[in-house]
């Protein structure tokens, strides 16, 4: 139980770690949404009133951002954030409305792809360009994807080296072609 003074100064936030095909949910008491995001890695605060109302029926674990114990899953998110906190670039991307990123992924194949992404404030992709090894650029947007969980934690310093400027992204977007069959 929270002391009355703490309870009065904190808000109850619905917090999700989205795994694309499911997720882990908690109620977290904190002074602000930013405090939640600064304390726990790879989570988002859910504001949709319908989802919040439904979550009231889910019997979720509840935690205080400053509490001595944290439920499973959320404890790991805290430990991950604690490990990031002292690294150069921690939080450098936080507070930006839009991010533009360029990152190479091999996705288990022999031909790594370069992905350029426009990312919204919630860490979800808004638009993406996939650059293949032969130089072909394909563009896609949320309506092309089956899932679009948050993919960028803005406090994670690992994302800082992948930041690019808007102009670079837009130049690739203008050059890219859309193939609606590519993401089926």
pTM: 0.86
- In this model, does residue 144 exceed pLDDT 70? yes
Cβ neighbors of 63 (< 8 A, separation 6 or more) are 26, 27, 28, 29, 69, 70, 71, 74
Q: Judge whether residue 3 has pLDDT over 60.
A: no
Note the helical H segments in the chain. Answer: 4-9, 33-39, 49-55, 74-85, 166-175
pLDDT tens sequence across 37-87: 999 999 999 999 999 999 999 999 999 999 988 999 999 999 999 999 999
Mean pLDDT of the chain: 90
Phi and psi of 88, rounded to 5°?
-60, 135
Q: What is the mean pLDDT of residues 125-131?
A: 95
Query: Which whole number is the average pLDDT over 2-21?
Result: 76
Retrieve residue 116's tokens: 């350029």
What per-residue confidence (pLDDT) applies to 108? 62
Q: Which of 125, 121, 124, 126 is nearest to 93 (CA)?
A: 121
pLDDT of residue 5: 46
Residue 22, pLDDT score: 78
Query: pLDDT per residue over 150-167, tens digit each?
Result: 999 999 999 999 999 999
Please state, for a pLDDT cut of 70, what percent of the chain lies above it: 91
């Amino acid at each position: 139980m929270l002391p009355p003074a703490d309870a009065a100064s904190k808000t109850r936030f619905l917090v999700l770690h989205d795994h694309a095909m499911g997720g882990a949910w908690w109620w977290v008491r904190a002074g602000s949404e930013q405090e939640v995001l600064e304390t726990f890695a790879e989570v988002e605060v859910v504001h949709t009133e319908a989802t919040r109302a439904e979550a009231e029926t889910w019997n979720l674990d509840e935690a205080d951002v400053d509490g001595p114990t944290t439920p499973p899953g959320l404890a790991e998110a805290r430990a991950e954030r604690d490990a990031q906190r002292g690294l150069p670039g921690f939080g450098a991307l936080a507070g930006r409305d839009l991010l533009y990123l360029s990152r190479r992924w091999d996705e288990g194949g022999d031909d790594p792809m370069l992905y350029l992404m426009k990312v919204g404030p919630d860490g979800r992709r808004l638009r993406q360009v996939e650059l293949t090894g032969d130089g072909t650029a394909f563009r896609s947007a949320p309506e092309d994807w089956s899932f679009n969980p948050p993919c960028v934690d803005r406090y994670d310093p690992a994302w800082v080296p992948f930041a690019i400027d808007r102009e670079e992204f837009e130049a690739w977007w203008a050059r890219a072609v859309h193939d609606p069959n590519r993401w089926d």
